[in-house]
Structure 1
Amino acid sequence: MATESYTPGYTVHASDFMARRTLQSHGMFFHAHLKPGSTVLDCGCGPGSITIGIAEAVFPGRVTGVDYARSQIELARQRAVEHGTANLDYLTATCYALPFDDASFDCIFSHALLEHLAEPSRALAEFYRILKPGGSIGICSPDWGGFIVSPPSPALSDAMQAYMALQTKNGGDVLIGRKFGTYLHEAGFHTMSMQARYECYPSLNLIGEYLARQLARDGQQEHASTWLAWSRSPSGLFAQTWVSAIGRK
């Protein structure tokens, strides 16, 4: 089995960064498939900020959030309590061996997970197994080959390549977005649509510190410092490419 490590880590800073994401900001590509009364799996749910929105969309249906990290499940459960969301269940599990019977869910949603997996095809095979016939799957990941970062400089290009190399070293695939159609087809899904969009960060400090922390933790202080220096630019841009795909079983 290939090895993998979650590049962002599970620090408070990383969890807070992920918790900015909501169904409205990062999951609307799949919203039309979230019907009231549906059963939905959110795999790689993290701190549960998107999962809350899914639960609201399918009420009175039920949503199950799954994450490999117990710390993230604890945060997600706390968030559900704070929001008073009752149609939610959370559990710790690996996406390679999900503890559900065949054909258990009407929909499967997975955001910002597959790019960190050494074996995404194994995860998609599990998704196919537990999805009901006729059910829909929505997946979304960044594709680092389409990012726009400015103002450009050789040092910034090196820092960008350093982060991409770090995620690759950890078992991930920074270009997985463009491969979604192939992966879905090979898993048995009928690909219904693919699309790409840019997320432009309103705060360079937010994304600069996020990337710098991960490189510094890996001992790459020079590249971390480059990201921090860039984040202080008064005229910078960080446009992140998100690729989403919808399939049907």
Structure 2
Amino acid sequence: MAHTSKAYVLDHKVANIKSHQWRTARNSAAFVIDSIHPDMYILDVGCGPGSITVDFAEMVPKGHVTGIEIGADILSQAQSLAHERGLENVTFGEADVNALKYPDATFDLVFAHQVLQHLPEPVKALREMRRVAKLGGMVAVREGELGTSFAYPDLAGIRNTVELYVRVARNSGSHPDAGRELLSYALESGFTRSAITASASSFCFSSDEDRAMWGKTWSDRLQESSFRKRALDGGFADPTDLESYAKDWRDWMTRDNAIWAHLNGEILCRK
């Protein structure tokens, strides 16, 4: 089953999965790691290929982690990763964050990474995440914003890609500014201000390996993905534009002096 969220402008093609597999608890959930205890029950919403999920599972040897996705197509990869790591305290399943199948107060921690920005009603999803968190438990969310990025060298195709992504995302009903809006989402979903810790951290790609991953991710997205289709169907770009942008990404990734960074907003909310 393919990803079914109409607001999700990307997809689970190889280019996107490579960037998702790069994510770990250390580089994508550092703001919550110190709050995790060995006996916790954790829900990872939008787990993708499971790279963060299995890291959580290793941190809770006396607990359990559940990873969920709205589409089942990626879950076999997540399960394979758990098997490779020898983990038995993690399970994966298909579920919709807007209507979670779990009873109230089920989990010690409900986590989502780069999920709310792809939803038409992020506050609704956050309320549901809050519902399934235990009293005294936590909801932790991290959302990035390409619009906060900088890149060097300053290539026109990379700047144009960022602008294009924001336009396509907004046209699709998602929220490319979700990172800066997380605190507002949390308040609207029912958390009190004193229960929320808001923070920010960055993604930064500068090593040979990281540049190759990030550059190829965007080159491929511009050439063969649902993002490309939405950009063309919406009249936001033409094939010549997209090939020009992709060429600049391929150029960028080969340069020793190249760097990319963007901010991620974070919230850690106690129920």
> Does the TM-score normalized on the shorter chain lie above 0.5?
yes
Task: Give me the whole-angstrom Cα distance separating, in 1, the residues matched to 2:39 and 2:243.
Answer: 46
1:213 aligns with one of 204, 220, 232: 220
The one of 236, 239, 243 equivalent to 2:261 is 239
Find the counterpart in structure 1 of residue 129 from structure 2. Answer: 127
Q: Displacement of 1:236 after TM fit?
A: 2.7
User: How far did residue 232 of structure 1 move?
Assistant: 1.5
In structure 1, distance between residues paired with 2:88 and 2:249: 43
| Percent of residue pairs identical | 28
The root-mean-square deviation of aligned C-alpha atoms, in Å, is 1.8
Deviations 1:14-63 (A, max 9, x none): 21221111111211111012111111100000010000011111221011
> Match of 1:242, as an amino acid?
N
TM alignment of 1:136-175, pairs within 5 A: 136-175=138-177
Paired residue type of 1:33:
S
Alpha carbons of 1:224 and 1:244: their partners in 2 closer, same or farther (altered >3 Å)? farther
SS at match of 1:100: coil
The yes-or-no answer on 1:225 pairing with 2:244 is yes
SS at match of 1:96: helix
Aligned residues: 247
Q: Deviations over 1:137-164 (max 9, x none)?
A: 1100102332112322555433321122
C-alpha separation between the residues in 1 aligned to 2:26 and 2:157?
35
Q: Secondary structure at the match of 1:37?
A: coil
- Taking the aligned partners of 2:48 and 2:149, their CA distance within structure 1 comes to 23
Task: Give the SS at the match of 2:247.
Answer: helix
In structure 2, stretches of 5+ residues that fail to align are 233-237
Amino acid at match of 1:206: M
In structure 2, how many angstroms separate the alpha carbons of the residues matched to 1:115 and 1:53?
23
Among 84, 98, 105, the residue aligned to 2:100: 98
Distance 1:131 1:227, change over 3 A: same
Segment drifting more, 21-30 vs 226-235: 226-235
Runs of 4+ in 1 over 6 A off after TM superposition: none
- Aligned with 2:251: secondary structure? coil
User: Could you list the per-position Cα deviations for residues 95-128 of structure 1 after superposition, in whole angstroms to 9, with x for gaps in the alignment?
Assistant: 1111100111111111111111111011011111
Please tell me whether residue 86 in structure 1 is matched to residue 72 in structure 2.
Answer: no
Normalised by the length of structure 2, the TM-score is 0.85
Q: Tell me, yes or no, if the aligned pair for 1:208 and 1:228 is still in contact at 8 Å.
A: no
Task: Note closer, same or farther for the CA distance 1:215–1:158 as it changes in structure 2 (3 Å cut).
Answer: same
Aligned residue identity for 1:142:
G
- Residues 211 and 224, structure 1, Cα contact 8 Å, conserved in 2: no
**Partner of 2:34: helix, strand, or coil?**
helix
Determine if contact 1:7/1:214 at 8 Å carries over to the other structure.
Answer: no
Output aligned runs, 1:3-14, within 5 Å.
4-14=6-16
Superposition deviation, residue 207 in structure 1 = 1.9
Letter in 2 for 1:195: S
Partner of 1:194: 198
